[in-house]
């Protein structure tokens, strides 16, 4: 049997990490993998997470199964965090999933059951797992224009033109905030125009929100998700807790499906539980319990929000420092987009050759499409990167 297997292409980011590790230079800089790192290069366990874990360890009296949807308290806490009071709770079905990836997978499987012919539209570019899972599931997909490699901002006219091609019942995947891999995001007003087109076409929005709190703040980063939630009968939302709670390996996420009314919600909830049952029965609980403990305890929540704010402001300061340094070196404002982008990533708009040159000459490791992880920088490595960008002629 196993002789029938064919080799899978190596994951580009993992290959990059291996090359970085093997590089003997001491001044090398890793801007590859999408994990938050502090100024010393560590990915810390957040204080509130440590404390919540301590409490769970002391108080938990059973490890019996939760429910197919996970602990309902987790669903409720995440609903409040992501959606606020934009939509009545009775319209929201939710399941805990293994990370945001699990939520995306379950959302796509739900689409496959409910609308097998629908085309799922992805931004070009998008997080590579989106097309990869879609392809694996054998679903129809299409791309809409997103990034302008000259301005390094959203190519909004191109995006609208492509979205006008969406057919009734198609699903349009949008990043809730902090677009990965570009860092370029729509404004609230631009999203209003997108919403108008999607409503006119009868499309269903599917929001992937994996960086809430990494851009402009917890509520500001949820604005677009809530704007969309208010505007449609049906919306799918895959939310990840990996980054904003720093619980990457605990595999913590939620899929929410907004239904038209309470009856449709009940039917959807049942189908989501069914999908969990088919794929892994009960979703992982530890990370979800940590998140619920934090979100429902005022003291822990305040501490978590404070640490998340420090994290967010640290990334913004690095963006500003890099933009300033590039302004100084080039005597131009053409790199100001770095300070305008939001989230952990920015796409620099360098060619693969320039990316290669920055690696060889300066020991700077970034993904081939010139996406940098801003959190991989610190005050000392920013000038090294700025010099490399200029030397490579980006």
Q: How far is the CB of 370 from ligand PMP (least distance, A)?
A: 17
What pairing do the DSSP bridges indicate for beta strands 140-145 and 29-30? Answer: unpaired
The stretch among 47-55, 95-103, 147-155, 197-205 that binds ligand PMP (CB under 6 A) is: 95-103
Ranges within 22-41 binding ligand PMP (CB under 6 A): 34
d(CA 59, CA 56): 5
What pairing do the DSSP bridges indicate for beta strands 235-240 and 253-258? Answer: antiparallel
Ranges within 292-321 binding ligand PMP (CB under 6 A): none
380, containing H or E segment: none
Report yes or no: 371 and 181 within 8 Å, Cβ to Cβ: yes
Closest CA to 192 of 169, 221, 226, 158: 226
Q: How far is the CB of 52 from ligand PMP (least distance, A)?
A: 18
Residue whose entry in the numeric block shows the structure tokens 């595999």: 251
According to the binding rule CB under 6 A, does residue 100 interact with ligand PMP?
A: yes
According to the binding rule CB under 6 A, does residue 210 interact with ligand PMP?
A: yes
Ranges within 244-273 binding ligand PMP (CB under 6 A): 248, 253
Ranges within 177-206 binding ligand PMP (CB under 6 A): 180
Ramachandran class of 103: left when φ > 0, alpha when ψ lies in -120 to 50, beta otherwise? alpha
Give the active site residues. Answer: 127, 208, 210, 243
What pairing do the DSSP bridges indicate for beta strands 140-145 and 171-175? Answer: unpaired
Q: How far is the CB of 59 from ligand PMP (least distance, A)?
A: 26
Tokens linked to 132 = 């990869």
Query: How many Cβ atoms sit within 10 Å of the Cβ of residue 73?
Result: 16
Nearest CB to ligand PMP, comparing residues 210 and 372 = 210
According to the binding rule CB under 6 A, does residue 125 interact with ligand PMP?
A: no
**Contacting residue, 86, 182, 185, 240, with ligand PMP by CB under 6 A:** 240
**Contacting residue, 208, 221, 357, 369, with ligand PMP by CB under 6 A:** 208
According to the binding rule CB under 6 A, does residue 343 interact with ligand PMP?
A: no
According to the binding rule CB under 6 A, does residue 213 interact with ligand PMP?
A: no
Q: How far is the CB of 223 from ligand PMP (least distance, A)?
A: 17
Tokens linked to 389 = 């960008």
CA–CA distances in Å: residue 354 to residues 76, 128, 184, 335, 350:
47, 21, 21, 16, 6
Nearest CB to ligand PMP, comparing residues 253 and 349 = 253
CA–CA distances in Å: residue 208 to residues 62, 84, 179:
33, 16, 9
Residue length of the chain: 394
Report yes or no: 377 and 318 within 8 Å, Cβ to Cβ: yes
Q: How far is the CB of 368 from ligand PMP (least distance, A)?
A: 17
According to the binding rule CB under 6 A, does residue 369 interact with ligand PMP?
A: no
Nearest CB to ligand PMP, comparing residues 211 and 304 = 211
Nearest CB to ligand PMP, comparing residues 36 and 337 = 36
According to the binding rule CB under 6 A, does residue 97 interact with ligand PMP?
A: no
Interface residue list for ligand PMP (CB under 6 A): 34, 99-101, 127, 180, 208, 210, 240, 242, 248, 253
């Amino acid at each position: 049997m196993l002789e029938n297997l064919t080799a899978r292409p190596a994951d580009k980011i993992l290959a990059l990490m291996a090359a970085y590790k093997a590089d003997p230079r001491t001044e090398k800089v890793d801007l590859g993998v999408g994990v938050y790192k502090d100024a010393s290069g560590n990915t810390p366990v957040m204080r509130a997470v440590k404390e919540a874990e301590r409490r769970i360890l002391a108080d938990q009296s059973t490890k019996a199964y939760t429910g197919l949807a996970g602990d309902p308290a987790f669903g409720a806490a995440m609903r409040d965090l992501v959606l606020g009071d934009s939509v009545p709770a009775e319209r929201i079905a939710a399941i805990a999933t293994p990370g945001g990836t699990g939520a995306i997978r379950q959302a796509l499987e739900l689409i496959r059951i409910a609308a097998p012919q629908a085309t799922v539209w992805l931004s070009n570019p998008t997080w590579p797992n989106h097309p990869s899972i879609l392809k694996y599931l054998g679903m129809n997909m299409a791309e809409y224009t997103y990034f302008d490699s000259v301005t390094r901002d959203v190519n909004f006219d191109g995006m609208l033109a492509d979205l006008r091609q969406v057919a009734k019942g198609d699903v349009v995947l949008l990043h809730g905030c902090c677009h990965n891999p570009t860092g370029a995001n729509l404004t609230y007003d631009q999203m209003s125009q997108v919403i108008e087109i999607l409503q006119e076409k009868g499309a269903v929005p599917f929001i992937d929100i994996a960086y809430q709190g990494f851009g402009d703040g917890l509520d500001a980063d949820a604005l677009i998700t809530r704007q969309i939630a208010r505007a449609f009968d049906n919306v799918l939302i895959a939310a990840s807790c990996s980054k904003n709670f720093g619980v990457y390996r605990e595999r913590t996420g939620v899929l929410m499906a907004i239904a038209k009314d309470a009856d449709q919600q009940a039917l959807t909830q049942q189908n989501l539980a069914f999908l969990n049952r088919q794929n892994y029965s009960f979703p992982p609980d530890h990370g979800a319990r940590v998140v619920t403990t934090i979100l429902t305890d005022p003291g822990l929540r305040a501490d978590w929000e404070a640490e998340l704010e420090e994290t967010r402001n640290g990334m913004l300061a690095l963006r500003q420092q890099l933009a300033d340094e590039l302004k100084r070196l080039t005597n131009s404002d053409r790199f100001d987009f770095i300070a305008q982008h939001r989230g952990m990533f920015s796409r620099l708009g360098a060619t693969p050759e320039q990316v290669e040159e920055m690696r060889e000459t300066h020991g700077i490791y970034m993904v081939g499409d010139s996406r940098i992880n801003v959190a991989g920088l610190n005050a000392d490595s920013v000038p090294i990167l700025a010099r490399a960008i200029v030397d490579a002629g980006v």
